[in-house]
Structure 1
Amino acid sequence: MTSSFEELLPSTERALWHRVATAQAEGRAPSVVGAVARDGRLVWAGARGGTDGHLPDAHTQYRIGSITKTFTAVLVMRLRDDGLLDLEDRLETHVPGTGVGEVTVAQLLAHSAGLTAEPPGPWWERMPGSTRPGISDVLGERPLLHPAGRRHHYSNPGYTLLGSLVAAVRGVSWEEALRVEVLEPLGLDRTTTQPVPPYAAGWAVHPWADVLLPEPAEDLGLMAPAGQLWSTAADLCRFACFLVEGDDRVLGARSLREMRAPAVPPDAEDWDTGYGLGMQLTRRDGRTLAGHSGSLPGFLVGMWVSVADGVAGVALANVTSGLVPGAVAGDLVRIVADAEPRLPAAWRPLPEVDPALLELTGPWYWGTYSYVLRLAAEGGVELHPLRGQGRRSRFRARPDGTWTGLDGYYAGETLRVVRRQDGSVSHLDLGSFVFTREPYEEGEAVPGGVAEGGWRGGS
């Protein structure tokens, strides 16, 4: 039995409509657009409300604020993958003279450079970029508040520096690099630095009366890499799917997994949220979501994707406050994933098996802890406890016959097979831990040796 799941069930669509309608009504937003993608394809979009007599749809532009940061982070990761910089490079190496050049590229991406949250002076989101023409105007006299690398402290000036980094290394503007390297290859034709009709106007709603006030839409100048972009529900769904699947024309799946991994510990009171390299991370309804939220005066936007479920949700509203778009987008993911859970991938045998690898499968013992080694695709292996909780990792094969840990406790560690002089397998060595075929196997290279007489009964 096969199914493409090209359409959602009517009951699922009704639940999505209800969530968007509730968000618009309770959030007192002039309009709300929601959209869902599943397995890389837009499967639902709906809107509620509107201004000037026009109902928005999945192709209506809204300003997306800080979701712009994820686009900027993709550009920076491309520089790394192209060999033009290292994430541990100091900013000074590529953009000299900022006064904060000791911070690293990775720290800027993860908001752990210790920089201030906002630039000095008046509310930058409602002021033209010309009011801050240079980096010194963005950073101010005291740009560093915390020791670099010690904690997550969200920083809009930090992403301004990353935009300047892109321009310095590529030799073109941040806007040009974004258009050529990301937007055009991914087909994000409705994602732009300036609004292109049809687009929603931004509004403020009076907190104690149902009346509107138009919000300004300023060009942010140097601050653009932190929040300039306009986009649509359809484009953001496509972008969210890219953040999972990758596209070799832009950024590979391995680099995107790196972006989705937590980069610094969360605050002590906030263990359900975190930040990777340009991506916000959260746990909602038992799911891990990656994406970003965004806000600028007149606009609130949320974009989340569940890798495990293959579902992305986007919510856009043209209001300054009143609703939490990230919560709405997360609910859209939950509604689809719960109502129409993803089918597991069909089991298929490996295309070919090396007999020498097959010999390694089965139980192994680290001391008295029992583990199982299984073969994975492309010559990889998986090591996990035979029962209960414990250290588990996947490993990728190396050309020299060893494996590198991909996740868990053994991420980055080397797993190798140690053989006897006759070529038979003696044990596995994993970062100095010895795994033998029997617990504390006599005659094997067990650290500390094995007591004479072996196992015995109690007295």
Structure 2
Amino acid sequence: MAVEPQFPSGTDSPQAYAGGLLPATRRALMHRVAVGQAEGRAPSLVAAVVRDGQPVWTGSQSMVEGHAPDADTQYRIGSITKTFVAVLVMRLRDEGRLELTDPVGRHLPVVDGAAGVTVGQLLAHTSGLASETPGPWWERTPGELRPELADVLGPEPAKLQPGRHYHYSNPGYALLGAVVERLRGMPWGEALAAEVLEPLGMDRTTLLPHQPAAGGFAVHPWADVMVPEAVQETGRMAPAGQLWSTAADLSRWAAFLAAGRDGVLSAGTLEEMRLPAAPPSAVDPDGGYGLGLQLARRNGRQLAGHTGSMPGFLAALWISEEDGIGAVTLANCTSGLAIGGVAADLLAIAADAEPAFPAPWRPDPDLDPALVDLAGPWYWGTSGHALRVRPGGELHLAPLTGQGRGSRFHVEPDGTWTGREGYYAGETLRVVRRADGSVSHLDLGSFVFTREPYDPSAPVPGGFPGWR
């Protein structure tokens, strides 16, 4: 029977620190926002930090003394919009309405030069399609100038061979939005509101601004003057960067991207979206892209999320799954502020100052004794591995030396396990038993793991005469 630990009166426990952040942490976060706004010369900057799915801090700095925006003020979020579109696409995938390997021409009228690229390639920016639309500049012109998908793609949309390169494509997300519309039978924005925003309580995330909303500005790069930027509705290109949101709503989005939500998208699918799906870039070896999510390594942490920009606005959202922390930053300037760096720094400040408490260890009262028999050392040839049993019947196989192939394995209904990462991702792990029911060996994609190095009693291919 599980025994709850007892804390003497006056003794700290992890629960004593649940809720907000410590004063020193809050000051450090606010200092980073103030430095970012001043050095980036942004009219305003608003930020938020989320921990364990809950907002724990918001702060803002403005050029107008005593009139800073708050967490309910809308800003345009640019390409963070793509994360919302990707969630809609993955919902369709999970429902069986499409596959990531489907050519987009299966779901849309054939468009010359783009019909053969796959849904997955569009999500990961490996389709080889052009980065931008044919002129004029789509972010600064009315969307009605491009009423059809052909107008978005132009006569020669393919720039690189599909699947071979990471090549960011805004028109690619216009295609994904059109796929959602065709399969749902409604505009993608309506599908987003009904399927995602309403269940998550994100009523301040909209296609068009609703007051209070920040105005966007262009700040002169060499002089302290600024002018308002015009805001355009982007029409067919809206799935690439149309949305407006708030720090409060994006805090909810960060929590969702980290853990999922029943009825919206599962944690397992979001974990899949966070895995690298595009080849690494020589320009940014610490970056990457999953299925609709930017990946980055900043301050020694692996982050997932997205940055965004539109005329007059910059935005960033990062989450660290390991730390259970997310950060959001929103500014109303066209350029000049390294918005993604500010968000990454805020996340690091909170994580370093107040690292997460691990869940307390407890014995598993429901653990299958047969799994306990599998735990311990195993050998692939002469290479030693440790097999550990995790909560829920998952297994973790890793080299004893720390060098080599390892993976977590998810339990399947048929009693096998499927690799979740690395070399063994998608591969099946089976327990092979002798006639008397005892374990002979583990079979992992035809690799034989035995209890002793080259166990002579196990069916090692080629045989083994025993140690001499």
Alignment TM class, shorter chain as reference: over 0.9
Residues in 2 aligned to 1:166 and 1:52: alpha-carbon distance in whole angstroms: 44
What are the Cα deviations for residues 279-333 of structure 1, in whole angstroms up to 9, with x where unaligned?
0000011100000000001001111010000111111110011111100000000
Residues in 2 aligned to 1:392 and 1:324: alpha-carbon distance in whole angstroms: 37
In the alignment, is the contact (CA less than 8 A) between 1:50 and 1:56 conserved in 2?
A: no
Residues in 2 aligned to 1:330 and 1:357: alpha-carbon distance in whole angstroms: 40
Paired residue secondary structure (2:204) = coil
Deviation at 1:51, TM superposition (A): 5.6
Q: Does 1:346 align with 2:376?
A: no
Deviation at 1:400, TM superposition (A): 2.0
Paired residue secondary structure (2:78) = coil
Query: Alignment partner for residue 202 of structure 1, among 199, 210, 216?
Result: 216
What are the Cα deviations for residues 127-167 of structure 1, in whole angstroms up to 9, with x where unaligned?
11011111111101110000111111000100000010000
Paired residue secondary structure (1:238) = helix
1:296 matched residue in structure 2:
310
In the alignment, is the contact (CA less than 8 A) between 2:122 and 2:173 conserved in 1?
A: yes
Residues in 2 aligned to 1:353 and 1:254: alpha-carbon distance in whole angstroms: 22
Moved more, 251-260 or 351-360: 351-360
Deviation at 1:259, TM superposition (A): 0.6
Query: Alignment partner for residue 436 of structure 1, among 450, 454, 462?
Result: 450
- Taking a change above 3 Å as real, the CA distance of residues 32 and 333 of structure 1, as seen in their structure-2 partners, is same
Moved more, 186-195 or 91-100: 91-100
2:291 matched residue in structure 1:
277
Q: Write the mapping of 1:374-393 to structure 2, written as runs, cut at 5 A.
A: 374-393=388-407
Paired residue secondary structure (2:418) = strand
In the alignment, is the contact (CA less than 8 A) between 2:48 and 2:329 conserved in 1?
A: yes
Q: Does 1:32 align with 2:45?
A: yes
1:20 matched residue in structure 2:
33
Q: Write the mapping of 1:9-408 to structure 2, written as runs, cut at 5 A.
A: 9-50=22-63, 54-99=67-112, 100-408=114-422
Unmatched segments (≥5 aa) in structure 2: 1-12
What are the Cα deviations for residues 62-121 of structure 1, in whole angstroms up to 9, with x where unaligned?
000000000000000011111111111111111022221111000000011100000001
Moved more, 272-281 or 369-378: 369-378
Deviation at 1:50, TM superposition (A): 4.6
Deviation at 1:52, TM superposition (A): 10
2:3 matched residue in structure 1:
none
Deviation at 1:248, TM superposition (A): 1.3
**Deviation beyond 6 Å, 4+ runs, structure 1:** none
Residues in 1 aligned to 2:64 and 2:185: alpha-carbon distance in whole angstroms: 41
What are the Cα deviations for residues 190-243 of structure 1, in whole angstroms up to 9, with x where unaligned?
100010000100000111211111101111011111000000111111101100
Moved more, 153-162 or 97-106: 97-106
Deviation at 1:368, TM superposition (A): 0.9
1:420 matched residue in structure 2:
434
Count of equivalent residues: 454
Residues in 1 aligned to 2:407 and 2:341: alpha-carbon distance in whole angstroms: 32
TM-score by length of 2: 0.95
Residues in 1 aligned to 2:102 and 2:158: alpha-carbon distance in whole angstroms: 18
Residues in 1 aligned to 2:399 and 2:66: alpha-carbon distance in whole angstroms: 61
In the alignment, is the contact (CA less than 8 A) between 1:364 and 1:373 conserved in 2?
A: yes
Residues in 1 aligned to 2:146 and 2:369: alpha-carbon distance in whole angstroms: 65
Residues in 2 aligned to 1:209 and 1:443: alpha-carbon distance in whole angstroms: 80
Moved more, 65-74 or 204-213: 204-213
Amino acid at match of 1:455: W
Deviation at 1:409, TM superposition (A): 1.6
TM-score by length of 1: 0.97
Moved more, 263-272 or 275-284: 263-272
Residues in 2 aligned to 1:269 and 1:204: alpha-carbon distance in whole angstroms: 27
Amino acid at match of 2:59: G
What are the Cα deviations for residues 406-427 of structure 1, in whole angstroms up to 9, with x where unaligned?
1122111111111122222111
Paired residue secondary structure (1:168) = helix
Paired residue secondary structure (1:66) = helix
**Percent of pairs with identical residues:** 63
Residues in 2 aligned to 1:153 and 1:403: alpha-carbon distance in whole angstroms: 35
Residues in 2 aligned to 1:35 and 1:355: alpha-carbon distance in whole angstroms: 46
Amino acid at match of 1:40: G
Paired residue secondary structure (1:161) = helix
In the alignment, is the contact (CA less than 8 A) between 2:14 and 2:357 conserved in 1?
A: no
Paired residue secondary structure (2:14) = coil
What are the Cα deviations for residues 381-411 of structure 1, in whole angstroms up to 9, with x where unaligned?
1111223322111111222221111112211
Unmatched segments (≥5 aa) in structure 1: none
Residues in 1 aligned to 2:238 and 2:98: alpha-carbon distance in whole angstroms: 22
In the alignment, is the contact (CA less than 8 A) between 2:32 and 2:342 conserved in 1?
A: yes
In the alignment, is the contact (CA less than 8 A) between 1:303 and 1:314 conserved in 2?
A: yes
Amino acid at match of 1:9: L
1:455 matched residue in structure 2:
467
Deviation at 1:5, TM superposition (A): 2.3
Residues in 2 aligned to 1:122 and 1:51: alpha-carbon distance in whole angstroms: 35
Residues in 2 aligned to 1:353 and 1:38: alpha-carbon distance in whole angstroms: 30
Amino acid at match of 1:207: P
RMSD over aligned CA atoms reads: 1.2
Residues in 1 aligned to 2:455 and 2:68: alpha-carbon distance in whole angstroms: 72
Amino acid at match of 1:39: D
